[in-house]
Structure 1
């Protein structure tokens, strides 16, 4: 059966009329802030305490927009006769957001959870040089990082929590064993037959 001439045009006009009768909803930004999901890729925050200057993020960045400077410090031995250790100290951590393409590779490859996504996106600048955020500014973005979502009730327990719980259980068992008196050393033994003051010792003397 051949289509009726002009049926496609009529369908198109019907869609247009339905759309025209609906109320338009336009968020007047910046007066009305958009509601963004927690995992939006806005800006990257730095948790400096977790950074070990492993340089993985800078090496894996396809745009080479992460700049890291560090120096080595000698840590004295903890125990007498021990060996001194050296550790990396972070001097500079900067991200040039004028080059960043927000791929998130730096966050994924960080083995110590030092980089996080923040949904904040309002950091436009009139000078492109101001888009290079140094570590102090990256640290301030951490205050805008949302909390992680709750785990699925049926999900497996993280290995870190399981290991910590096992260690705590072993420590509690060791402390309980130290506080438990040995068998046969209770208060009843002080006035029992071995002391010679109980009824059993008196009856033995009469026999």
Structure 2
């Protein structure tokens, strides 16, 4: 080491120990900031990435979330069903019906890509993080468990005056209206069938 590279100032033997003890003494006199978890629930930020909830009614089985997942931890199974025409003379349609939707949280790295790429708002972040298991196989949450997590998803922030309605509300209302219309159609069809006279019966 050349003289120009020598550190400036003198270091006395034991000076590092003295500085360390000084830091320790200063820290001992301060108030503790230790969080008393689990006795006290942590105050989590609203956009905390805890677990993923599934809003099944919005899922169209497009498989986009499974294809974009870097860890391949999303498992989706489906089958096709034929839907009768909505109006007389119309054509039958085929649609995908969800059979299985599961996420393996032992593989998930919580990147949020699946939530971002979902075009139909079927996946949401929940701040819940207390779902540790003793068996790694229990960390694969099937669609029933993912649906339960939806109850823990926080409500979107309040609207700015004049802003558009949150897309989550619009999607939920659309799904509810669709389900109500389907139930009404089934009830009307059942009533028509019950009112139809049987063969040989006159009214």
TM over 0.5: yes
In structure 1, C-alpha distance between the alignment counterparts of 2:93 and 2:61, rounded to whole Å:
16
1:34 and 2:39 correspond: no
Taking structure 1 as reference, are residues 133 and 160 closer, same or farther at Cα in structure 2, changes over 3 Å only? closer
Residues 43-192 of structure 1 correspond to what in structure 2 (within 5 A)?
43-153=51-161, 157-158=163-164
**Is the partner of 1:74 in helix, strand or coil?**
strand
Taking structure 1 as reference, are residues 27 and 95 closer, same or farther at Cα in structure 2, changes over 3 Å only? same
In structure 2, C-alpha distance between the alignment counterparts of 1:42 and 1:95, rounded to whole Å:
13
In structure 2, C-alpha distance between the alignment counterparts of 1:27 and 1:157, rounded to whole Å:
38
Kept after mapping to 1: 8 A contact 2:133/2:139: yes
Q: How many residues align?
A: 158
Which segments of 5 or more consecutive residues in structure 1 lack a partner in the other structure? 165-207
Taking structure 1 as reference, are residues 80 and 160 closer, same or farther at Cα in structure 2, changes over 3 Å only? farther
Taking structure 1 as reference, are residues 70 and 79 closer, same or farther at Cα in structure 2, changes over 3 Å only? same
How many angstroms does 1:51 deviate by?
Answer: 0.4
Which segments of 5 or more consecutive residues in structure 2 lack a partner in the other structure? 1-7, 171-203
**Is the partner of 2:149 in helix, strand or coil?**
helix
Across the aligned residues of Structure 1 and Structure 2, the Cα RMSD in angstroms comes to 2.5
Find the counterpart in structure 2 of residue 180 from structure 1.
Answer: none
Find the counterpart in structure 1 of residue 4 from structure 2.
Answer: none
Find the counterpart in structure 2 of residue 177 from structure 1.
Answer: none
Q: TM-score, normalised by structure 2?
A: 0.69
Find the counterpart in structure 2 of residue 186 from structure 1.
Answer: none
Structure whose CA Rg is larger: 1
Kept after mapping to 1: 8 A contact 2:51/2:125: yes
